[in-house]
């Protein structure tokens, strides 16, 4: 295992967080798979927090001659932030994200990386997929709901094995738990995103046991992605639609109450419906106003917002070909 002194073409990033398997075996498996590439590479481990034991294991591998790059964050910031720190430190044109636990047979990594040369983002899809009926139901429900609200169909967003071009990460900034939805955000921005079937690792035996709070977090995450994908550049359509519905409902109730007072001589005093209708009208107006403020902000910064990707430019003074996707993003 010789040290790569020249700039690597491939950067593999492993985030070490709460869940991790035997890091010694994980690192050796990843390294052996990357060595089969006909390209220079680097392997980075991002410690999201202190993780003293993980640091000892990885440091021992470095002392044994494996030139790993270890980055330890001052505290646990979350996987999305840890990934962004790894992206900032990576040097390769192709960035590969890998979990600190078994998901995919490491021998499949070269195939995934090679396909990244013809697409912007390549996602590993574990096939055949093992798991119980509840795990299958939960996975299909999640992907079905995400597909329904975004229009993008994926099968295994829970897999952390992905390969992508550097230009994708130069445009996308992740925070919170958005690393789970990186393919959705990339496709929304106009990049080519493909799924590739790979063998599931024989050691991938994790069985998720989420609390109710975790499911609520995932629902809120999906709602956030729905807004970012559909209404980032058209906030009035989102807030205006909801606000208009609430305003109309409140207005109809209020109109009925006024009609009863004027023509049926029914008193308005001590009627909760009057308070409810008034609140609905005010809330509707506030939501529409919020959408208008969002439109003003978007209009003010419109020149700095890039809404397209260029697939190719042929000719010109430099005869430069730019490999980007020519597609209006559906913001």
Strands 94-99, 10-16: pairing kind: parallel
- 207-218: b or e for each residue (b if 16 or more CB lie within 10 Å)? eeeeeeeeeeeb
Q: Tell me the CA end-to-end span of the chain in Å, nearest whole number.
A: 46
Q: Which pLDDT score is estimated for 320?
A: 43
Name the E strands within 178-262.
193-198
Do residues 39 and 109 make contact, with C-beta atoms less than 8 angstroms apart?
no
**CB atoms near residue 190 (< 10 Å):** 21
Q: Which pLDDT score is estimated for 302?
A: 57
330 belongs to a structural domain: no
Cα distance between residue 278 and residue 274, in whole Å: 6
- Say whether both 177 and 289 belong to one domain: no
Cα distance between residue 307 and residue 188, in whole Å: 10
- Say whether both 227 and 240 belong to one domain: no
Which among 172, 206, 231 is the end of a domain?
231
Q: Which pLDDT score is estimated for 256?
A: 93
213 belongs to a structural domain: yes
38 belongs to a structural domain: yes
Q: pLDDT per position in the chain (331 positions), as tens?
A: 444 447 899 999 999 998 888 999 999 999 999 999 989 999 999 999 888 999 999 999 999 999 999 999 988 888 888 898 899 899 999 999 999 999 999 999 999 999 988 889 999 999 888 777 888 888 888 889 888 888 889 989 989 999 999 999 888 877 777 888 999 989 988 899 999 999 998 888 765 556 777 777 778 888 888 887 777 778 888 888 899 999 999 999 999 999 988 888 888 877 889 899 999 999 999 999 998 888 888 777 655 655 555 554 555 444 444 444 444 443 4
Q: DSSP label at 66?
A: -
Write the Ramachandran bin of 192: left for phi over 0, alpha for psi from -120 to 50, otherwise beta: beta
From 254, 251, 249, 227, select the one nearest 239 (Cα to Cα).
227
Split into its structural domains, the chain has a count of 2
**CB atoms near residue 205 (< 10 Å):** 11
- Say whether both 175 and 104 belong to one domain: yes
Do residues 9 and 92 make contact, with C-beta atoms less than 8 angstroms apart?
yes
Q: Which pLDDT score is estimated for 319?
A: 40
- Say whether both 285 and 222 belong to one domain: no
308 belongs to a structural domain: no
Do residues 70 and 61 make contact, with C-beta atoms less than 8 angstroms apart?
no
Q: Which pLDDT score is estimated for 331?
A: 40
Which among 174, 201, 231 is the end of a domain?
231
Secondary structure (DSSP) of 177-192: TGGGGHHHHHHHTT--
- Say whether both 154 and 166 belong to one domain: yes
Name the E strands within 176-294.
193-198
Q: Which pLDDT score is estimated for 136?
A: 83
* Residue 31, domain CATH: 3.90.550.10
How many Cα atoms occupy the beta-carbon half-sphere of 233 within 13 Å? 15
Query: Three-state SS for 6?
Result: coil
Q: Which pLDDT score is estimated for 322?
A: 41
Secondary structure (DSSP) of 277-330: HHHHHHHHHHHHHHHHHHHHHHHHTGGG-----------TTTT-----------
Type and span of the H or E element at 320:
none
Cα distance between residue 101 and residue 20, in whole Å: 5
- Say whether both 240 and 92 belong to one domain: no
Do residues 114 and 146 make contact, with C-beta atoms less than 8 angstroms apart?
no
- Say whether both 127 and 246 belong to one domain: no
Structural domain of 168: 10-231
């Amino acid at each position: 295992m010789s040290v790569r002194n020249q700039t690597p073409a491939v950067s593999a990033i492993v985030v070490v967080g709460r869940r991790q398997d035997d890091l010694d075996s994980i690192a050796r498996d990843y390294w052996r798979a990357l060595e089969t590439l006909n390209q220079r590479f680097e392997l980075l481990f991002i410690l999201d927090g202190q993780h003293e034991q993980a640091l000892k294991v990885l440091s021992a591998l470095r002392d044994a001659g494996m030139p790993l790059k270890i980055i330890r964050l001052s505290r646990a910031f979350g996987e999305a932030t840890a990934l962004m720190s790894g992206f900032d430190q990576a040097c390769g044109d192709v960035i590969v994200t890998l979990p600190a636990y078994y998901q995919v047979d490491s021998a499949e990594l070269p195939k995934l990386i090679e396909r990244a040369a013809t697409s912007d983002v390549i996602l590993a899809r574990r096939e055949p997929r093992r798991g119980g009926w509840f795990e299958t139901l939960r996975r299909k429900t999640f992907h079905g709901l995400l597909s329904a609200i975004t229009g993008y169909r994926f099968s295994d967003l829970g897999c952390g094995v992905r390969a992508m071009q550097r230009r994708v990460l130069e445009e996308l900034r992740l925070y919170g738990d958005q690393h789970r939805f990186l393919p959705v955000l990339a496709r929304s921005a106009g990049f080519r995103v493909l799924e590739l079937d790979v063998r599931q690792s024989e050691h991938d035996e994790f069985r998720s046991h989420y609390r109710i709070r975790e499911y609520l977090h995932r629902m809120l995450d999906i709602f956030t992605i729905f807004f970012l994908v559909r209404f980032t550049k058209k906030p009035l359509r989102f807030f205006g639609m909801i606000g208009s519905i609430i305003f109309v409902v409140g207005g109809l109730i209020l109109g009925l109450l006024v009609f009863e007072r004027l023509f049926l001589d029914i008193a308005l005093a001590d009627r909760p419906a009057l308070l409810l209708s008034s609140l609905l009208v005010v809330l509707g107006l506030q939501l529409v106003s919020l959408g208008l403020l969002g439109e003003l902000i978007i209009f003010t910064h419109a020149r700095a917002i890039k809404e397209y990707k260029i697939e190719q430019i042929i000719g010109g003074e430099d005869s430069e070909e730019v490999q980007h996707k020519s597609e209006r993003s559906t913001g």
